[in-house]
Amino acid sequence: MKFILILLLASCLGMPAIAGSHPDKERGAGMQDTHRLRELRLRQALKNGDISPREAESMRLERRQQRDKRSENRRQQREARVKGEGETPHKFWRDKRRQSQRGASPDD
């Protein structure tokens, strides 16, 4: 019985290694593919005369600005977590519960 239990445990722990690469790596590769595809479509539209060079450049600039805005938001969120600013509702109620367990008044 112990042998079967150990065998099952070992197989469960080995499953993620067998499953393949990490999902985030796959998502990153997929993101690169979508960026390449978007750029290819933009170049083809430009080549076919569907859009002007000025429109193509404005589309690229817009995407770049969106990317920069997202990265800036992520940076700010990361800094807020590091500094401990921006108390979340979860932390607020956790602290309230701890205060009540200690016998302190919640208004302190």
What per-residue confidence (pLDDT) applies to 6?
78
DSSP 4-72: HHHHHHHHHHHHHHHH-S-HHHHHHHHHHHHHHHHHHHHHHHHHHTSS-HHHHHHHHHHHHHHHHHHHH
What per-residue confidence (pLDDT) applies to 22?
56
Residue 72 vs residue 3, higher pLDDT:
72
Q: Where are the domains of the chain?
A: 34-84
The tens digit of pLDDT for each residue in 48-107 reads: 999 999 999 999 999 999 999 999 999 988 887 766 655 677 778 888 889 898 875 555
Report in angstroms the alpha-carbon separations of 56 from 21, 68, 69, 75, 79: 36, 18, 20, 29, 35
At 106, the amino acid letter reads: P
The tens digit of pLDDT for each residue in 10-42 reads: 776 665 555 555 555 666 677 788 889 999 999
What per-residue confidence (pLDDT) applies to 34?
86
At 21, the amino acid letter reads: S
Give pTM, 2 decimals: 0.46
